[in-house]
Copies of this chain bind each other. A is one copy, B any other.
Amino acid sequence: MKFIHTSDWHIGRQLHNQSLLDDQAFVLEQIIALAAEHKVDAVIVAGDIYDRSIPPANAVALLDDVLNRLVQDLGLQVIMIAGNHDGHERLGFAAKQMAASGLYIVGPLSADIHPITLSSTSGDVVFYPLPYAEPATVRQVFECEASSHEMAMDVLLEKVRQHDSQGLPKVVISHCFLDGGSESESERPLSIGGADKISPKLFTEFDYVALGHLHGPQYKGAEHVRYSGSILKYSFSEQHQHKSVTLVELGAQTPIDIRLLPLTSLRDVRILEGELDTLLAQGKTDIKREDYLMVRLLDKHAILDAMGKLRAIYPNVLHLERTGLMAGQQQVALSRDHIKKGEMDMFCDFFSQVSGESLTQAQQAVMDDLLTKLHNEERQA
C-alpha cells in the first residue's frame, strides 16, 4: 500500500487579505501529479481541508475539481477528515453516497469509528479516520469522562486498539496537537494554556499515524507519527520551512518506507530586510520579485509612500515594517521638546522627498516658528 499523506490545505485562506486560491490550485496540481507519478493507491488528507467552516464558493469549486481529478480521473481512493477549521456537518454532507466511488469524507465524530480497509496489490491496510473533536464532543458522543484533549484522544484510540484488523497494518488519521511539536503562527490554537497537548506515546503502537494541524512537516515520538505540514506557507513565520507531502509505503510484510516529496509554490512567502534604495535596486534583477513579501525597512528617516515604491518593483508586498524608524522612535524621550524636534525632522524628510531639495535656513526658521506657535496654542487650549 502506497499513499500520500497531506494535510492543512486551508482552501480559501488569505494571507494579509491576498487570496491564495491560485497558489493553492498550483500546489494541489502538483499533488495530483505526484500521486500519478508515484502510482499511489490513496491520498490521505488529515484535516483543515478548508480554512473556514463556511468556505467561499470558489474554494468549494476548487476542491470539487481536485477530487474529480484524483477519484474520477486517476481512480484513487481519498480519505479526508475534518480539522478544527472545517465545518463538520457541511464537510460530511452526503459522505455515505460518496464512499462507493472511493471518496471517504469524515465530518462529525460518530460513536462508530468506521474503519476503512483499502486494498492494493502490495497488501491491504486499515485506516482509522478520527475527525477533530473537542473533549466535550467526545464526552457527548461516547458518554465518557474526558476532561482534556489527551484523555479524549485516548477514548478514540481505545476504539482503534480494540478493533480487530485481522493482522493488517493500522493507520490512524488524526488532527491534533502533539506535545513538543513546533508551531507556526498560522495555526489556530485548539485550546488555551496548553490543555490541547497530547503525548506522542499514545500513537506509537500504530503502524503509521497521519497527523494534521501543525504547519511544519515533522515527526514526534517516533518517525512514523508524523505531521505532513501544510501545502503552503500560511504565515511569514514559516519563511524557512520546506513544504512537502509525505509518501508512505507499508504492508503486512514490508518494513515502512517514508519519504518527503517537496512541493513548489507559485509564489514564495518570505521576509526582505534592508534599506529602501538597496531593496529597489536588488529587486530589478530578482526573478522571484512576485513572491509574497514582508518588507522590513531599515531606513531611519521618513519615506513618502514606501509601500507604493516597493510595489512598483515587488508587486506582492503584503506587509511593511519600518524597523529602522521604530528603532529610532524608541530612543526619543517623551518630553515636549523632543517631540517638537521629531516633527521638524519628519518635515525635513518629507520636504526633501517631495521637492528633491533640502529646506533652506529661512524655510527652517518659518517652520520652526509655526511649530512653536502650534504647540503654544495647544498648551493654552
Contact partner of A97 among B60, B61, B101, CB < 8 A? B101
B90 touches A60 (CB 8 A): yes
B101 touches A64 (CB 8 A): no
Known A64-B89, A71-B96, A100-B100; 14 more pairs at CB < 8 Å:
A58-B89, A60-B90, A60-B93, A63-B93, A64-B93, A64-B95, A67-B94, A67-B96, A71-B97, A72-B96, A94-B103, A94-B105, A100-B101, A101-B101
CA distance A58 to B87 in the complex (A): 11
Per-residue CB contact flags for chain A residues 221-235 toward chain B (1 = under 8 Å, else 0) read: 000000000000000
Q: Is A195 an interface residue (CB 8 A)?
A: no
A94 touches B89 (CB 8 A): no
Interface centre among A58, A89, A102, A105 (most CB of B within 10 A): A89
Chain B nearest CB from A311 CB (Å) reads 32
Chain B nearest CB from A206 CB (Å) reads 28
* Minimum-distance CB pairs A-B, first 9: A97-B101, A57-B89, A97-B98, A97-B103, A100-B100, A100-B101, A61-B89, A60-B89, A64-B93
Q: List residues of chain A with CB under 8 Å of any chain B CB.
A: 53-54, 57-58, 60-61, 63-64, 67-68, 71-72, 87, 89-90, 92-103, 105
Chain B nearest CB from A196 CB (Å) reads 23
- With CB as the reference atom, state the residue of chain B lying closest to A64: B93
Given the complex, which residues of B lie within 8 Å of A98, measured CB to CB?
94, 97-98, 101
CA distance A253 to B58 in the complex (A): 45
Given the complex, which residues of B lie within 8 Å of A54, measured CB to CB?
54
Chain B nearest CB from A357 CB (Å) reads 56
Given the complex, which residues of B lie within 8 Å of A63, measured CB to CB?
93
Given the complex, which residues of B lie within 8 Å of A58, measured CB to CB?
89
CA distance A79 to B135 in the complex (A): 38
28 A-B residue contacts at CB 8 Å? A54-B54, A60-B93, A61-B89, A63-B93, A64-B89, A64-B92, A64-B93, A64-B95, A67-B94, A67-B96, A67-B97, A71-B96, A71-B97, A72-B96, A72-B97, A93-B93, A94-B94, A94-B98, A94-B103, A94-B105, A97-B97, A97-B98, A97-B103, A98-B98, A98-B101, A99-B101, A100-B101, A101-B101
